[in-house]
Amino acid sequence: MRTRPTLSWTPTGDLPPGTTDLGPVTDALAGGGVLVLTGAGISTESGIPAYRGEGGSLTRHTPMTYQDFTGGAQARRRYWARSHLGWRTFGRARPNAGHRAVAAFGRHGLLAGVITQNVDGLHQAAGSDPVVELHGSLARVVCLSCGAAGPRGELALRLEEANPGFAPVAAAMNPDGDADLTDEQVADFRVVPCARCGGVLKPDVVFFGESVPPQRVEHCRALVDAAASLLVLGSSLTVMSGLRFVREAARAGKPVLIVNQDPTRGDRHAATRIALPLGPALTTVATRLDIPVPDAP
């Protein structure tokens, strides 16, 4: 029997409380060698909602799973119709102060790397380089038959041509770029195949229920091994893809610091959790370190 992937996690009462003391984060960055792991919470100030927490999209939206996407044409029609509409808004999102602060820390040589669970490309847009996209990127598409990959912009143009006038009003947008639409709104949407072989196109992202590529996991493990500490920003760490690196860092005796307003599944492995909004918190840390954070363009 097929089981659903883990989408939620309920905090227990024995978790350590969050603080507002940014001292440990400032000290860790001053020492250098910090590996940053980010989640959807770092992009909320850019207008992209988080999955979890108060107002998170999972309170009203069940994400597409890999099994559903590959299991039938109707599910793919629903996904691509909603994603095509969501992409118009998602693609206009811009880096916020949190992204820009992380990029500034990297430019000043304080980071051992950046791993993001997000698929929005905002770290790169802010100037972070390199960035490991743990769950892939919505900016790329890949064919499940021939493996051909291409930019999302090209697919968007093909979908526009196949669906002239498609402009339904969405109830909301989700962190995976999926807009909330009804079955009636997507019923006549036309999905286009791979231009090379006619196969099924999929966004180059790791869906819920799909595994992160092993070589990507090993690369992240190597970054954890080489880092002096791990700084988690805006992730509930509900899914194992990110939580495993927190556990590995803690087992190796490396300090784990979390900045997230709500409790996380990694709190018991962390030296501290700072319950503050990310943009202001990271800007404050940068100021303490005398590192300028560029204003939004």
- Which of 61, 135, 219, 269 is an active site residue? 135
Give 158-206 pLDDT, tens digit per residue: 999 999 988 886 656 666 667 778 889 899 999 999 999 999 999 999 9
As a whole-number percent, the residues of the chain with pLDDT over 70 amount to: 90
Examine the residue annotation and report whether 135 is marked as an active-site residue of this protein: yes
Residues belonging to the binding site are 117-120, 143, 146, 194, 197, 234-236, 278
pTM, 2 dp? 0.90
Bridge pairing between strands 229-233 and 256-259: parallel
CATH code (residue 127): 3.40.50.1220
Looking at residue 167, its pLDDT comes to 83
Q: How many residues does the chain have?
A: 297
Q: Is residue 284 part of a domain?
A: yes
Give 21-34 pLDDT, tens digit per residue: 999 999 999 999 99
Q: Is residue 69 part of a domain?
A: yes
Q: Is residue 297 part of a domain?
A: no
The chain-wide mean pLDDT, for the chain, equals: 90
Q: Is residue 234 part of a domain?
A: yes
Residues belonging to the binding site for NAD(+) are 117-120, 234-236, 278
Q: Is residue 148 part of a domain?
A: yes
Bridge pairing between strands 149-151 and 136-143: antiparallel
Q: Residue 139 half-sphere exposure, CB side, CA atoms within 13 Å?
A: 11
Q: Is residue 4 part of a domain?
A: no
Q: Is residue 10 part of a domain?
A: no
Chain centroid offset of residue 65 CA: 16
Chain centroid offset of residue 249 CA: 20
Mean pLDDT along residues 134-152: 96
Closest CA to 44 of 130, 157, 148, 122: 122
Q: Is residue 238 part of a domain?
A: yes
Mean pLDDT along residues 110-122: 96
Looking at residue 208, its pLDDT comes to 85
Residue range of the domain that includes 67: 23-288
Number of domains in the chain: 1
Question: Where is 242: in which H helix or E strand?
Answer: helix 240-251
Residues belonging to the binding site for Zn(2+) are 143, 146, 194, 197
